[in-house]
Amino acid sequence: MQRKGRLYTPSVPRIQNVQFIKKPMKQAKIVVAAILAWMVPALCLATDFSAIFKKNTDSVVTIKSGNNIGTGFYITPNLIVTNLHVIRNAPDISFATSYKDGFAKVDAVAAVDKAHDLALLYAKNPGKPVTLARSADLVPGMELVSIGSPQGFEKTFAGGNFSQMRQNGLMQISIPVSPGSSGSPVFDAKGQVVGVVVAQRKGAQNLNFAIPSEFVLALMQKAEGIPEQEYMSTGAFHQANKDDRQIEGAGAVLKDYSNIDTGRDGCRNFSSTFFESPGAGPIKKCVCNDAVIYTNIICQCPACRK
């Protein structure tokens, strides 16, 4: 634009005007940097659950015991842990790391924990053991995952949360559970086993339970003190277990209890609660003078017997 023959040049902003424009931009950069500083660690801390599956999938096996299908996992190169009720009623027990490789026979039963429904199986075929961690360190809301064979679908990966540690000694979890899930390892966000799937509350949704890893560790330590030649063959285990069931009143699985008088002196805190055990039908939590036993037979309590 010209004015009276002279070239008109717009005035250049003063230095302070430039500073005024740059100052809020600088503040905005600081705010963005602060947000990124908060977000990046959070993103880095996000759990890579696919890595947990990849690391542990070869440690998990499908167990076939008679008509039962369950899950187990290696805790040493030759010891597989599962639920006792998975193997309890069959003379032959086999396992498969993957269906395409076929099933191999379990060579022996190394040790059992009847009170906590756990069994250690000895397999000559070596496997990759998992890493155990303390369930006592869990806090409600923590994310958990499991790998198992619900309904026989091997290597099924499922997630949920730790809900609460119950007074009966079981972990309450929201991981979906179905027949075949029994014996599945429960992993924390670090990929360490903190529990073993055992039961679901009958008639409830996602009200499921796992045995704390501390009992698995105790059973493993017990097995370490037993020479391999003293392990019980699966046939001998079945026969001994069968005799035990007859003595304790097998054949009345759905009966709550018998010959119990809760009014007797010395009898306290007796109770019997039904759970739905994946792959094995109903099991019961029997409480007898503060001792807790999980079983699929009639609840027995000598202190309360008539």
Q: Which residues are catalytic?
A: 85, 117, 182
**Which tokens go with 228?**
């391999």
CA angle (11 as vertex; 10, 12 as ends), nearest 5: 115
**Which tokens go with 76?**
């040493």
Terminal alpha carbon distance of the chain:
114
Q: Are 130 and 159 in contact (CB under 8 A)?
A: no
The distance of Cα 6 from the centroid of its chain, to the nearest Å, equals 87
The span from the CA of 106 to the CA of 221, in Å, is 20
Closest by Cα among 161, 164, 208 to 189: 161
